[in-house]
Amino acid sequence: MRRGLLRALKTRPGRLLAAPYIVWMALFTVIPLLLVVWFSFTTPEGGFSFDNFSQLLGYGAYFGRSFWLAALSTVICLVIGYPLAYAMSRETGAMRNTAMLLLMLPMWINMLLRTYAWMSILENRGLLNQLLSFLRLPTLHIINTPAAVAVGMVYNYLPFMVLPILTVIQKIDKSVVEAAQDLGGNQLTVFKRVVLPLSLPGVLSGITMVFVPGVSTFIISQTLGGGNSKMLGELIEMQFLGGTYNPYLGSAISLVMMVIVLISMAVMNRFGEGEEEVMVL
Amino acid sequence: MKRSRVPGRILQILVAVFLYAPILVLIVFSFNSDRSRVNFKGFTLDWYRKLFENDQVLSALSLTLILAFLSALIATVIGTVSAIGFYNMKKRPRKLLLGLNNIPVVNPDIITGVSLMLVFVLCVNFLNTLGAGFSLGFGTLLIAHVTFNIPFVILSVLPKLRQLNKNTYEAALDLGASPIRAYRKVILPEILPGVVSGAIIAFTMSIDDFLISYFTTGPSAQTLPMRIYAMTRKRISPEINALSTLMFVTVLALLIIINILQTRDQKRKERRL
């Protein structure tokens, strides 16, 4: 009894330690998001309306392109990233350390620079086409097309797919794999029935980490996509800082994008069925 | 059972080529005597000289470092203290607050950026009607960076708190330590690795951020990524290549040093066993 009281006395002040941050979150996380909601139902003249949302219908192409390109890049990252993570997990010692270092190093270079670098490769008279014509192959027109945006996204986000998958595969208990082998499973069966299901949480978190920044990017589409493959990120940026200043419409676009992203994440997490969150680093 | 590792190796090499080709291009063209981004004419160090004479870039660099240091420091203090607070809470409020804490992590950066911008613009406009001369700048930038940094500190400190043995804290209390002293002497050393890695993540996130800064600052406070953005908008400016090369070499050197230290640490531990 006395002990319980003592503990209560000692833990209650502990709880209060979070108070300043709760105020901070209210001011700089909750209120800003509420403002986005508020603005999206308001006209520049002030007053409640659905105008911003009916205007959104005219921007369907932006939504379609953003979600399609982000989904495409996510699939490409998964198709390359999963086998890569698997191959890396089978390396040992110095080889694995080197592979990890090589994978992480580009992530530390600013994304603007990484994307900029692709311009000189993909340009019409760029390095890729110089190489192709040197090999007497037909040249490609990639820059300022959605394909260039997809290349940029895969390049920027591939490590975000590989790392969570690698983390999960490395944590798989070796004895589980050996048991499956002892029970007569061949390599394919062991992979399909043991490794793949156990690595699913990593796959899900990889998909999230590629899809969410991909769908909302404006750097990659602006740098590599030209005027014809504008995405939602650019549209939002134009409403807040660009020529067509209209934060009301911009808020509505942001709100719809956020809701669609949240719904897709929720649907995906149902597949994960309460798996523990996978953390990178 | 051991199938050949060849396909895996080939894949790793192909991806390495894909990842490093653009970086190699940047480095090579930083020594190009021509302004062109696609034709190499000859060797020069001019772009490096021009970069070091570029006051805008240098002041942006120092602003970025100061901002990253301050925001990481503030976020680490608030984050560690709040993580202890969360840890002491009952399950339901803790879950709710951790959900709120996760918002800046899962939300697209651009939405964090524009939502903060709305608040800052409204506040600044309101304060200015009262006659103050505020504008978006370093202050709002710092608030924004602290806001997106704290969640990462909390997420790296909380797991360490969960691993704690509660009895050691109570033993310290039973031996007559005050709660504050017990925290400092017993709990803090245990969670320190989490605090340090949280601080490092916060620092690098802050250095690397472009999107949120872009929406929450004014002309008076330009970070290095924003300078880079302005340079890439001009299409051709080989100084960018020089800058990227220098950043790449710095990061490479840092990672190699960390790697060496870690291997040495591992070996020392193995020897002790």
Rounded average pLDDT per 10-residue block, chain B, 273 residues: 76 95 90 83 89 90 96 96 90 91 91 96 90 87 97 94 86 87 87 93 93 93 91 78 89 85 80 74
Q: What is the pLDDT of residue A224?
A: 92
Domain that holds residue B168: 55-238
Identify which of A66, A217, A205 has the alpha carbon closest to the alpha carbon of residue B109: A217
| Least confident among A94-103, A145-154, B94-103, B202-211 | A94-103
Q: What is the pLDDT of residue A280?
A: 36
Distances (CA, A) of A259 to A211, A234, A256, B69: 14, 18, 5, 34
Tell me whether residues B12 and A11 touch, CB distance under 8 A. no
Best of B38, B91, B183 to disrupt the A interface (most A CBs within 10 Å) is B38
Nearest CB among A13, A109, A216 relative to B244 is that of A109
Q: Over 80: is that where the pLDDT of A92 sits?
A: yes
Q: What is the pLDDT of residue A10?
A: 55
In a domain, B20, yes or no: no
In a domain, B22, yes or no: no
Among B residues 155-174, those touching chain A with beta carbons less than 8 Å apart: 155-156, 173
CATH number of the structural domain spanning residue B155 = 1.10.3720.10
Torsion, Cα B193 B198 B199 B203, to 10 degrees, reads: 140
Q: What is the pLDDT of residue A3?
A: 56
Rounded Cα distance between B119 and A33, Å, is 9
- Average pLDDT of A19-30? 95
Q: Over 90: is that where the pLDDT of A12 sits?
A: no
Give bridge partners of residue A42 from the DSSP assignment: A48
Q: What is the pLDDT of residue B271?
A: 80
In a domain, B269, yes or no: no
Query: pLDDT grade, residue A97 (50/70/90)?
Result: confident
Q: What is the pLDDT of residue B122?
A: 93
In a domain, B76, yes or no: yes
Tell me whether residues B38 and A108 touch, CB distance under 8 A. no
Q: What percent of chain A has pLDDT over 70?
A: 91
Residue tagged 């929450």 (tokens): B216
* B6: nearest CA partner in chain A: A87
Q: What is the pLDDT of residue A4?
A: 55
Identify which of A220, A149, A102, A142 has the alpha carbon closest to the alpha carbon of residue B24: A102
Say what the ipTM of the complex is. 0.88
Q: Over 50: is that where the pLDDT of A205 sits?
A: yes
Rounded Cα distance between A48 and A41, Å, is 6
Please, what CATH class does the domain formed by A59-272 belong to?
A: mainly alpha
In a domain, B166, yes or no: yes
Tell me whether residues B78 and A21 touch, CB distance under 8 A. yes
Q: Is A252 exposed, middle or buried (0-12, 13-18, 19+ CB in 10 A)?
A: buried
Residue tagged 């004014």 (tokens): B218
Q: What is the pLDDT of residue B262?
A: 79
Q: What is the pLDDT of residue B42?
A: 86
Rounded Cα distance between B258 and A249, Å, is 47
Among A residues 141-200, those touching chain B with beta carbons less than 8 Å apart: 155, 158, 181, 187
| Least confident among A11-15, A132-136, B111-115 | A11-15
Rounded Cα distance between B252 and B92, Å, is 44
Q: What angle do CA B245, B144, B191 make, to 5 degrees?
A: 85
Identify which of B216, B265, B242, B266 has the alpha carbon closest to the alpha carbon of residue B28: B242
- Average pLDDT of A47-64? 90
In a domain, B12, yes or no: no
Rounded Cα distance between A34 and A42, Å, is 13
Q: Which two structure tokens, joined as six digits, stand for A245?
A: 């200043």
Query: pLDDT grade, residue A274 (50/70/90)?
Result: very low
Which residues in chain A touch residue B146, judged by CB atoms under 8 angstroms apart?
24
Q: What is the pLDDT of residue A46?
A: 80
> Are A119 and A126 within 8 A, CB to CB?
yes
In a domain, B248, yes or no: no
Tell me whether residues B150 and A127 touch, CB distance under 8 A. no
In a domain, B89, yes or no: yes
- Average pLDDT of A106-127? 88
Identify which of A268, A121, A143, A157 has the alpha carbon closest to the alpha carbon of residue A204: A268
Rounded Cα distance between A142 and A149, Å, is 9
Into how many domains does chain B fold? 1
Best of B111, B143, B206 to disrupt the A interface (most A CBs within 10 Å) is B111
Q: Over 70: is that where the pLDDT of A45 sits?
A: yes
Query: pLDDT grade, residue A77 (50/70/90)?
Result: very high
Identify which of B152, B162, B143 has the alpha carbon closest to the alpha carbon of residue B195: B152
> Are B206 and B67 within 8 A, CB to CB?
yes
Q: What is the pLDDT of residue B150?
A: 97
